[in-house]
Amino acid sequence: MILTVSHTSIYSYDAPVRGAVQSLRMTPSVCDGQRAIRWQIEVLGGTRGAVFRDGAGDWVEGWSLRGPVSDITVKVTGEVATTDMAGVLRGHRESVPPEAYLRETGPTRADSGLMALAHEGAAGATDALDRAHRLAAAVSEAIAYRPGATDAHGTAAEALALGEGVCQDHAHALIACARHLDMPARYVSGYLHAGEDGGPNEASHAWAEVWIDRLGWVGFDPANATCPDARYIRLGSGCDAGEAAPIRGVAHGRVAEALDVTVAVEAVQQ
């Protein structure tokens, strides 16, 4: 499948800031399941700084802007050829050991509810892959997908207690359950072409990867009860949504910030 992406993020401030620095993880991962045909990142009025591939295999670009700045516009456009790998991440170079992703973080901390969900969901599993599939299914069933039910600062425990959430909550809950059972798991940010009618998807997406000894990292998308396939574009990963965020940055000034994001993912060739 060939997917096109158009993604614009606009940060607006209630007063001009003295400047800003940003770290962008917005370049498609280099792996067997996807190949960027063209890809362009622009920060309007910004200066591109250091670029490097980090230990997790993510391509990172640093950008800076000199003030006064009233708004920052980040534009990403591109075209990616994708192949269905049944969720298995192959050909991805990284140096961080899987055990590093057993580390608990605030959004992925397992409370008693998540611990119970992990044990109930994994009951009867025949091997690690089967256990991961069962955990993803349990999370899908326990947390209904409802846009706007939670915010970006919510935790997996809160989403489970509410019984509703978005893709970020599903990913955090699966990560929490897997780690509780000593299975390394991590958060993945990216894009999904989800329009069944071929129309554009309106949002970026997130899912989880679980380490399976005989396979490596395997993706699971509990929000859609499936494993990532050719409709998905993988950008980056981290222990939770904060670490895997496509855009991280700091604006110099005590101001209020508003963010407007538009994302369109379209399939131009099946």
pLDDT for 193-213, tens place per residue?
Answer: 986 654 444 568 999 999 999
Residue 119 reports pLDDT greater than 90 = yes
Q: What is the pLDDT, as a whole number, of residue 199?
A: 47
Name the pairing type of β-strands 144-145 and 164-165: parallel
Q: What is the pLDDT, as a whole number, of residue 197?
A: 55
Q: Which of 85-94, 216-225, 244-253 has the lowest mean pLDDT?
A: 244-253
Structure tokens at 34: 């996807």
Q: What is the pLDDT, as a whole number, of residue 203?
A: 61
Instruction: Please name every residue paired with 65 in a beta bridge, in sequence order, or none if there are none.
Output: 20
| Beta strand ranges found along 86-242 (DSSP E) | 144-145, 164-165, 185-192, 204-212, 216-220, 232-238
Task: Note the pTM of the prediction, 2 decimals.
Answer: 0.94
Q: Which pairs with CB-CB distance under 8 Å and at least 24 residues apart come from 26-29?
A: 26/61, 26/74, 26/76, 26/235, 26/246, 26/247, 27/58, 27/59, 27/61, 27/235, 28/78, 28/80, 28/233, 28/234, 28/235, 29/57, 29/58, 29/59, 29/92, 29/234, 29/235, 29/236
Domain with CATH 3.10.620.30 in the chain: 85-243
- The mean predicted confidence, pLDDT, of the chain is 94
Of the chain, the percentage scoring pLDDT greater than 70 comes to 97
Q: What is the pLDDT, as a whole number, of residue 28?
A: 98
The CATH code that applies to domain 2-81+247-267 is 2.60.40.2250
Task: Compare 152 and 176 and report the one with higher pLDDT.
Answer: 176
CATH 3.10.620.30 assigned to domain 85-243? The reply is yes
Q: What is the pLDDT, as a whole number, of residue 198?
A: 46
pLDDT digits (tens, 9 = 90+) for 252-264: 988 899 999 999 9
Categorize the per-residue pLDDT at 221 as very low, low, confident or very high, splitting at 50, 70 and 90. very high
Domain with CATH 2.60.40.2250 in the chain: 2-81+247-267
Residue 88 is classified by DSSP as B
